[in-house]
């Protein structure tokens, strides 16, 4: 089963076409970079894929579920993390884990067991009773990512997970992404850092609601005769 | 003409948190000065002190020779400030926002139109749209227009490009270069290390302290260690192998390559090659390179921690 399959997926707001007939697939265990300029339609597309927004036309299946008729199933079977909002700062580490476990419908026994395993894996046993607000940024991110995949989803959506983060923490976060992908978790990630586009197995670039390019970073650079993904992006987004 | 910005030994604590520690630097006339650092480094606190919105615990700062404590009223008239959070009136149109800010400063959009014209024409097609309904890049342009409408002599831009796509970021920096040429001193902060190179001088800031102040060229020249770019077909495996090598000093992902420093520099290269040989990495490539600002920042972060 492919974690994401779309066909001519479209969203209109009045006469404005935010997402214009996008067709693509994401493979199991792949790190898929979803790029585009502000206003290109990324957020709209992502909201449809997460079951939060009903498409105007076209089809999409995420984690095997139809985004029209099984939106709740989609939500239960994906992970989601954004830089801006992911953990409750005024809850303890352990409370955050418990909260998300509950949201995803895990049983109490399961939550307890997963909490122990997760804290051990992150080396955060001593911090279990600390407020999240007291954690260093790098730890918060690790925790946020782990919590987003607590319910073992087959795919996790990361919406600009590294914005504003220091260069070392940003790279540590990518280590986590690599590790998860290596375990078979599919990762769908948006970013404004073009160097991060290079870490993806495949990258799509949206311009004005359409996917204008989709390939491996290497192929895209060859295709556009570009030195870096930054060049590819500038050529595409400016050449409209 | 007075020096646009002088900061001397400024400290600021919020309870236990040392938001700023002993900050000193100067921004000269017509200079585009970058404050480069991640979230939580203290950038916004410094901006708020310099724009007279917050008092420092210790130290002194002047803007155009005016003291940020004593002369706060005079400073507010001559500086333009674009806060990190979008702070225009979302329910007013583009045009209404501009008129509003012009009126507050006792001027009109017309009077200083020359300064904002180039930026304004890009948002003019949307002049009747509420500011809240603009795209990210457009909002930034409008905010910049509003910060310029009273012809300030010093411009404070707090993370104007955060969350903005690479194309809009590039356009924004091109506008800043032209404003600088018009003689406006600009202090701009950013978490994007690649933007450092676009500034005349930069201060690297982390955990409330300045790591370094210099031209971006000089900072990269001072990177003390030989640096290599390394890649292979399976990057995740390569990164793990390199990090397990006993003489690896640092190994970080940098786009298509990994950046590697070794404990004894050149002397370790043969040993490293011998170590990697049996691991059979396909399409292996290792080339010496010169450091960028981000390499320097990470190196400085590390030495800061060790102190």
Average pLDDT over residues B148-155: 95
Phi and psi (nearest 5°) for B63? -125, 120
The pLDDT value given to residue B268: 95
**B294 located within any domain:** no
Same domain, B189 and B56: yes
Average pLDDT over residues B90-110: 95
Residue A239: pLDDT band (50, 70, 90) is: low
Whether residue A37 and residue B193 make contact (CB cut-off 8 A), yes or no, is no
Minimum CA–CA partner of B254 in chain A: A195
* pLDDT at residue B122 is higher than 70: yes
| Percent of chain B with pLDDT strictly greater than 90 | 81
The domain over range A26-53+69-77+153-240 is classified in CATH as 3.40.50.300: yes
Nearest by CB to B255, which of A38, A179, A195?
A: A195
Average pLDDT over residues A168-175: 88
Ranking A110-119, B6-15, B61-70, B157-166 by mean pLDDT, the lowest is B157-166
Whether residue A137 and residue B294 make contact (CB cut-off 8 A), yes or no, is no
**B299 located within any domain:** no
Residue B159, CA atoms < 13 Å, CB-side half-sphere: 25
Whether residue A37 and residue B168 make contact (CB cut-off 8 A), yes or no, is yes
CATH of the domain at B59: 3.40.50.300
pLDDT in tens, B249-290: 999 998 889 999 999 999 999 999 999 999 999 999 999 999
CATH of the domain at B281: 3.30.70.2070
Three-state DSSP state, A157: strand
Minimum CA–CA partner of A238 in chain B: B167
* pLDDT at residue B44 is higher than 80: yes
B38 Cβ partners below 8 Å, 6+ apart? A137, A164, A165, A166, A167, A169, B191, B206
The H-assigned helical ranges of A64-192 are 71-76, 93-103, 108-122, 137-148, 167-182
**B182 located within any domain:** yes
The pLDDT value given to residue B288: 96
Phi and psi (nearest 5°) for B191? -90, -5
Residues 78-117 of B with CB under 8 A from A: none
The pLDDT value given to residue A43: 87
pLDDT in tens, B173-207: 999 999 999 999 999 999 888 899 999 999 999 99
The pLDDT value given to residue A137: 78
Same domain, B130 and B229: no
Average pLDDT over residues A217-222: 95
Whether residue A240 contacts residue B279, with contact meaning beta carbons closer than 8 Å, is answered with no
pTM of the model: 0.86
Query: Å from A229 to nearest chain B CA?
Result: 9
Cα A93 → chain centroid: 22
The pLDDT value given to residue B295: 95
Virtual torsion, Cα B220, B287, A166, A86, nearest 10 deg: 160
Same domain, B75 and B205: yes
- In angstroms, the CA B304 to CA B206 distance is 9
Whether residue A45 contacts residue A22, with contact meaning beta carbons closer than 8 Å, is answered with yes
Average pLDDT over residues B3-30: 96
Expressed as residue numbers, the domain containing B141 is 5-215
Average pLDDT over residues A199-219: 95
Contacts of A164 in chain B (CB under 8 A): 38-39, 159, 162, 191
Same domain, B127 and B243: no
The pLDDT value given to residue A84: 66
The pLDDT value given to residue A38: 79
- What mean pLDDT value characterizes chain B? 93
Whether residue B202 contacts residue B216, with contact meaning beta carbons closer than 8 Å, is answered with yes
Instruction: Compute the C-alpha angle A171/A151/B39, nearest 5°.
Output: 30
- Interface mutation target, options B14, B38, B223, B299, chain A, most CBs of A under 10 Å: B38
Total of domains in chain B: 2
Sheet holding A155-159, edge to edge: A78-82, A155-159, A186-190, A31-36, A202-207, A210-215
Q: What is the ipTM of this complex?
A: 0.80
Whether residue B170 and residue A199 make contact (CB cut-off 8 A), yes or no, is no
Q: List C-alpha distances in Å: B62 to A148, A169, B59, B66, B275.
A: 47, 34, 11, 5, 57
- Interface mutation target, options B43, B229, B255, B296, chain A, most CBs of A under 10 Å: B255
Same domain, B75 and B207: yes
Q: Which residues pair with A59 in a beta bridge?
A: A7
Q: Which residues pair with A79 in a beta bridge?
A: A156
Nearest by CB to B167, which of A164, A197, A238?
A: A238
Average pLDDT over residues A82-94: 86
* pLDDT at residue A240 is higher than 80: no
Same domain, B271 and B194: no
Angle between helices B113-123 and B166-181 (to 10 degrees): 170
> CB of B193 within 8 Å of any CB in chain A?
yes
- In angstroms, the CA B117 to CA B119 distance is 5
Give the residue among A230, A232, A213 at the shortest CA–CA distance from A221.
Answer: A232
A:B CB pairs within 8 Å: 92
* pLDDT at residue B83 is higher than 60: yes
Pair type for strands A186-190 and A31-36: parallel
The pLDDT value given to residue A238: 76
Same domain, B139 and B24: yes
Average pLDDT over residues B128-153: 91
Same domain, B179 and B254: no
Whether residue B236 and residue A168 make contact (CB cut-off 8 A), yes or no, is no
Average pLDDT over residues A140-161: 92
Three-state DSSP state, A138: helix
The pLDDT value given to residue B307: 62
Contacts of B40 in chain A (CB under 8 A): 137
Per-domain boundaries in chain A: 26-53+69-77+153-240, 87-152
Contacts of A195 in chain B (CB under 8 A): 254-255
């Amino acid at each position: 089963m492919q974690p994401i399959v779309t066909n001519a997926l479209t969203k209109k707001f009045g006469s404005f076409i935010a997402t214009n007939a996008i067709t693509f697939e994401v493979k199991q265990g792949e790190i898929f970079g979803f790029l585009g300029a502000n206003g290109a339609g990324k957020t709209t597309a992502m909201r449809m894929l997460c079951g939060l927004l009903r498409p105007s036309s076209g089809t999409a299946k995420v984690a095997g579920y139809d985004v029209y008729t099984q939106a709740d199933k989609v939500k239960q079977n994906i992970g989601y993390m954004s830089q801006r909002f992911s953990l409750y700062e005024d809850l303890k580490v352990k409370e955050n884990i418990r909260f998300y476990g509950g949201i995803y419908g895990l049983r109490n026994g399961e939550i307890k067991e997963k909490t122990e395993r997760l804290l051990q894996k992150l080396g955060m046993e001593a911090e279990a009773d600390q407020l999240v607000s007291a954690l260093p940024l790098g730890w918060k991110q690790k925790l946020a990512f782990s919590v987003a995949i607590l319910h073992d989803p087959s795919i996790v959506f990361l919406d600009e997970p590294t914005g504003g983060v220091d260069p070392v923490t940003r790279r540590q976060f990518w280590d986590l992404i690599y590790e998860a992908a290596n375990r078979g978790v599919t990762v769908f990630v948006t970013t404004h850092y073009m160097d991060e586009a290079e870490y993806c197995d495949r990258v799509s670039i949206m311009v004005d609601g359409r996917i204008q390019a989709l390939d491996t970073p290497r192929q895209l650079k060859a295709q556009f005769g570009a030195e870096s993904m930054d060049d590819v992006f500038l050529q595409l987004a400016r050449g409209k | 003409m007075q020096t646009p910005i002088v900061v001397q030994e400024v400290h600021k604590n919020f309870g236990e948190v040392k938001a700023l520690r002993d900050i000193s630097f100067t921004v000269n006339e017509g200079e585009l000065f970058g404050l480069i650092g991640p979230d939580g480094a203290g950038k916004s606190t410094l901006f708020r002190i310099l724009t007279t919105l917050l008092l420092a615990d210790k130290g002194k700062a002047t803007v155009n020779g005016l003291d940020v404590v004593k002369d706060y009223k005079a400073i507010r008239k001559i500086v333009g400030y674009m806060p990190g959070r979008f702070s225009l009136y979302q329910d007013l149109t583009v045009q209404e926002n501009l008129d509003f800010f012009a009126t507050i400063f006792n001027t009109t959009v017309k009077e200083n139109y020359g300064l904002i014209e180039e930026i304004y024409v890009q948002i003019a097609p949307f002049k009747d749209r509420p500011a809240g309904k603009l795209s990210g890049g457009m909002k930034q342009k409008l905010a910049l227009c509003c910060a310029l409408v009273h012809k300030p002599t010093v411009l404070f831009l707090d993370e104007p490009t955060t969350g903005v796509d690479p194309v809009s970021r590039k356009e924004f920096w091109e506008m800043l270069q032209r404003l600088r040429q018009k003689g406006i001193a600009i202090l701009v902060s950013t978490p994007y290390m690649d933007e450092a190179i676009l500034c005349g001088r930069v201060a690297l800031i982390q955990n409330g302290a300045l790591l370094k102040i210099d031209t971006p060229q000089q900072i990269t020249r001072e990177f003390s260690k030989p640096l290599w770019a390394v890649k292979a077909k399976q990057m995740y495996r390569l990164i793990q192998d390199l990090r397990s090598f006993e003489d690896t000093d640092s190994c970080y992902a940098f786009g298509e390559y990994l950046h590697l420093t070794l404990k004894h520099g050149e002397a370790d290269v043969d040993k490293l090659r011998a170590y990697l040989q049996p691991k059979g990495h396909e399409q292996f490539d290792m080339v010496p390179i010169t450091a960028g600002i981000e390499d320097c920042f990470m190196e400085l972060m590390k030495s800061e921690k060790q102190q």
